[in-house]
Chain A
Amino acid sequence: MILNKYFLSVFFTACFTLNSFTQENKALVEPDSSEVLNEVLITATRTKRQLSALPLPAQIINKETIQQSGAMRLGDILAEQTGLITVPDFGGGEGIQMQGLDSQYILILVDGVPLVGRSAGTLDLNRISVGNIQQIEIVKGASSSLYGSDALGGVVNIITETPKKDWHGTLNYRTGTLNTHDLSLNTTYRNDKLKLSLFGNRYSSSGYDLTPQNALQTVEPFSNYTAQVKLAYSFSTATTASLSTRYYSQNQDYKASESLQGESNIEEWNAHFKLNHQFNSAWSSSLELYATQYQTDEYLNDIADAALTSNGFYDQRLLRPELRVRYQPNTQEAFIAGTGYNHETLSRTDFSESPTFNSAYVYLQYDATYFEKLNVIAGGRLDTHNVYATQFSPKVALRYPISNSIAIKTSVGRGFKAPAFRQLYFDFTNATVGYTVLGYQAVPTALAAMQERGEIANILIPVSSFDDELKPESSINLNLGVDYSFSKRLTFSLNVFRNSLTNLIDTRIIATKTNGQSVFSYTNINESYTQGLEFNFTANAIKNLNISGGYQLLYAKDKQAEAAFEAGQIYARSAANSPAFALQKSDYFGLYNRSRHSANLKLFYNIPQYRMNANLRATYRSKYGLSDTNGNGYLDRYDRFVSGYGILDFALTKNLGKHLQVGVGVDNLLDFTDAQNITNVPGRLLFGKLNYQF
């Protein structure tokens, strides 16, 4: 609360001060002749803004790049971007890590509305086909001032294609190693009144096995389908309505052992209705209604006696009406205000109840240009909630072009992440090991029930301490960047970032059981930070050759851990059976799964005389630790690390005639694998693809 008040005052002071010198005339979107610099994105401000003039660290991946890379799923293409790391989850899922913050802090949107359904916080990027993507917009840093919970670390927004005039269609097919087939059909139609898009995708693979010595595959065979229909109608030049719906379904083999086998199914749909109206040159509004459901169902059968051994389900729903109003009194100022309501439910196995989250919110953003040059964005959002305290998330961003070639930009904002359903309502006992995990709200009832059954040996944390509510995790995000264009052909950007996180939710032992195991629950304990810098460049120095690359330096550390190392309280052993010795502060490596260095380099070469494009893409991440291996509870230099590694991809496309493009490629050319630690890299993949436009 103290934090909030402080920020409120800073925020309003800033707004007030800036308001007092409003003059000058300057378009919000600076006209620019360069093609690359003309890219426009909507995610950063909820209105169209030119990427190059934005005061926030952001990035766009366009359709051409996606197509030329031969990417099939969202994870394929995100993994090649600076500062984005894809992290494997159990069973073949992949989450995104951004500015050192993991998947649970990154909001994933499709056409501006969120995907739900996370497994232990991870939203699986492989759920999203790239077949009908116009562009992917990435905004780094806390974005809760517009998007509320989960946008603590950043936002990835997938913008699907908008139809061009008349009928158009694209058929895409890629096949390759692992019996992978990816087939997409995208049809669009547009006339003066109507816009229609139809998209269908089927993606299947036999999966792969990095550990042939055991009965389970690393990724079991699967097939999935995506369908999306978008319909928009203009009633007049001022009023348009659109309806979009998306459906996704996946079926995958599910095995726990040689004898325990079953299936796991995912089904997901969403519907998004939007009504836009332009009242006059200054006022416009959007009314939206969004509904989505994500459900999974999995079972295991014992083959020997044909008995059902386990059955799990997960069913999450979100309903969200939202009203947005835009007011642009002149060309140099724009206000966006929005209000909405989230109604969210989850019903799943191992839950103490079927909880409901209700949250009303309101946000306001002011975007203006002063002195012809200085762009200021100031905004804030208030989220009320039925389970945790009201959250206020302010943000201020500035950009100032010092000259035609150099601009500096900075942003400060607060981000938050509400406690997840599982952190509140989980009631789970591991069947093989015997430990129990209870959600924060579930503790009093569940613990009493366990006591009654005689399962509790000792209660270590008094139950009364669960009377206070679990607080949302929050962060203060700071970015400071410089954009430098040496020429139109050579540009650099540098961004220094820091995220200071508080009230991080972690598990602790609250009671011991008579079987010698523990009862865990969640609590706000840790404070940590991620900080570093990101550097990007693009160079078109040689005709037809586009070189781009980037590097991220990252320090991600727990503050208490740092203090403990500094105080000389942490010890390690050189071998598992040898006596311990004291460690220094410099021996602390940081949080798990964070690489200090990551980099990428991409070469796209056009060969116009053959109508070909060849590209070579390299990504690298330096060593990282997945767990504490020497028993002191921290990741230090004497732990076992996953070695740094690089992935090299190659793709070649050629246009044949007017409509047809064929391609071949190799993903992971060097056939890198690490069976024990890296489950989302399957080894070398050869592929062929064709793209037919009509």
Chain B
Amino acid sequence: MMNIFKSLTAVSLVLALSSCSSDDDTAAPLEELESETVTNLYAPEIGGRVEPSSGDFTKFDFETGSETTSETDWDVAFRSTTILVNGGSKTGITDEPERTADAAVYIASGTLASITEVDTSLFAQDTTEGPAIAIGSGNGWYNYTGEPYHLIKPIPGTILVFRTSEGKYAKVEILSYYENAPEEPDGLSDATPYYTFDYVYQPNEGITTF
């Protein structure tokens, strides 16, 4: 099952900003950035390989920081190595959820710490051409190493920046595709697809920095 560790709570703009704007007493205090680690988010598919893949996507909501079965209140959905966003249109693959919101995503190059600003011009949504996070090895978030290790490796330096269904922002670094995120996964024996990722969620409306 999925575990959510409410681990680190980030340093925040809150203190800094509130101290700067102390003379403006009417402004609501900003909420703190939420830095979380999600482990073992299980996102299996039915079929795959030579068969067409099918099966429900595992949906995730940044606001609650947890997996959800809601048809509408979700931001990102996973199935095997495919990642969808709750915005745009259906891509045409089997059993994909309806897009009910205006969520979007782009891939930034950097570390989770180095991506401090959202570039709203880069956001893309799923289309009939395919998901905004392109599928396939080397195109989106992972590389498949092939012979002899057969590993799915999240591409280092790939940060997924999201606009959520509620119009807020989050940045995600996927760390592992294997159960319990082993330090040295074995492509042939370790279980997949179990997503482990770090994310930072900006809970404040309209703020595009992390």
Contacts and interface: CB of A to CB of B under 8 A. Distances in A.
A676 interface: yes
A572 B146 contact: no
Nearest to B159: A580
Contacts of B92: 457-458
Nearest to B92: A457
A577 B92 CA distance: 32
Given A458-B129, A514-B52, A515-B49, A631 B80 contact: no
A306 interface: no
A368 B201 CA distance: 75
Contacts of B151: 629, 631
Nearest to B139: A509
Contact of B154 (A627, A629, A631): A631
Contacts of A518: 135-137
A515 B53 contact: yes
A514 B156 CA distance: 27
Interface string B55-98: 00000000000000000000000001110000000011110000
Nearest to A676: B148
Interface in B142-176: 142-143, 145-149, 151, 153-158, 173, 175-176
Closest 9 CB pairs of A and B: A631-B153, A571-B157, A580-B156, A571-B156, A577-B181, A434-B49, A434-B50, A514-B52, A458-B130
Contact of B173 (A455, A516, A576, A580): A580
Contacts of B175: 577-579
Interface in B166-201: 173, 175-176, 181-185, 196, 198
A67 interface: no
A601 interface: no
B149 A577 contact: no
A345 interface: no
Contact of A579 (B109, B112, B130, B134): B112
Contacts of B147: 627
Among A509, A569, A626, the most chain B Cβ lie within 10 Å of the Cβ of A509
Among A429, A455, A629, the most chain B Cβ lie within 10 Å of the Cβ of A629
Contacts of B81: 516
Contacts of A573: 156
Given A509-B139, A576-B176, A577-B182, A432 B49 contact: yes
A507 B14 CA distance: 49
Interface string A564-588: 0000011111011111111000000
A581 B111 contact: yes
B49 A517 contact: yes
Among B136, B142, B196, the most chain A Cβ lie within 10 Å of the Cβ of B136
B206 interface: no
Interface string B39-52: 00000010111111
A434 B149 CA distance: 18
Interface string A419-431: 0000000000101
Contact of B111 (A458, A517, A582): A582
24 contacts: A434-B51, A458-B130, A509-B139, A512-B130, A512-B136, A513-B52, A514-B94, A515-B48, A515-B49, A515-B50, A517-B136, A518-B135, A571-B110, A571-B158, A575-B183, A576-B184, A579-B173, A579-B198, A580-B156, A582-B111, A627-B146, A629-B149, A631-B156, A676-B148
A3 interface: no
Nearest to B198: A579
B146 to A, nearest CB: 7
A627 B139 CA distance: 18
Interface in A496-518: 509, 512-518
Chain A interface residue number, banded: 35 or more
A433 interface: yes
Given A512-B130, A516-B82, A577 B196 contact: yes
B175 to A, nearest CB: 5
A628 interface: yes
A633 interface: yes
B138 interface: yes
A509 B184 CA distance: 28
Interface string B84-124: 00000001111000000000000001111010000000000
A310 interface: no
Contact of A569 (B109, B112, B148): B109
Contacts of B137: 509, 518
Given A517-B49, A573-B156, A581-B111, 7 more contacts: A433-B50, A458-B91, A514-B53, A575-B184, A579-B112, A629-B149, A629-B151
A429 B51 CA distance: 12
Interface residues of B, number: 52
Contacts of A512: 130, 135-136
Contacts of B134: 460
Contacts of A517: 48-49, 136
A458 B134 CA distance: 10
B47 A515 contact: yes
Main secondary structure of the interface of B (DSSP, over half): loop
Contacts of A569: 109, 157
Contact of A631 (B93, B139, B145, B198): B145
A257 to B, nearest CB: 14
Contacts of A432: 49-50
A691 interface: no
Contacts of B47: 515
Given A629-B145, A631-B156, A576 B183 contact: yes
Given A577-B196, A579-B111, A516 B148 contact: no
A517 B137 CA distance: 9
A62 interface: no
Among A515, A573, A633, A676, the most chain B Cβ lie within 10 Å of the Cβ of A515
Given A434-B49, A514-B93, A632-B143, A570 B157 contact: yes
A572 B91 contact: no
Given A458-B129, A575-B184, A580-B157, A633 B53 contact: no
Among A578, A580, A582, the most chain B Cβ lie within 10 Å of the Cβ of A580
Contact of A576 (B111, B142, B182): B182
A555 B85 CA distance: 43
A579 B157 CA distance: 9
A564 to B, nearest CB: 10
Contact of B143 (A626, A628, A676): A628
A630 interface: yes
Nearest to B94: A514
A631 B142 contact: yes
B48 A457 contact: no
Nearest to A573: B156
Contacts of A433: 49-50
B64 to A, nearest CB: 24
A575 B156 CA distance: 11
A76 B4 CA distance: 58
Contacts of A514: 52-53, 93-94
Contacts of B53: 514-516
A627 B145 contact: yes
A517 B149 CA distance: 18
Contacts of A580: 111, 156-158, 173
A339 B165 CA distance: 70
A632 B158 CA distance: 9
A596 B177 CA distance: 33
Contacts of B130: 457-458, 460, 512
Contacts of B93: 457, 514, 516
A516 B111 contact: no
Given A515-B52, A631-B155, A571 B91 contact: no
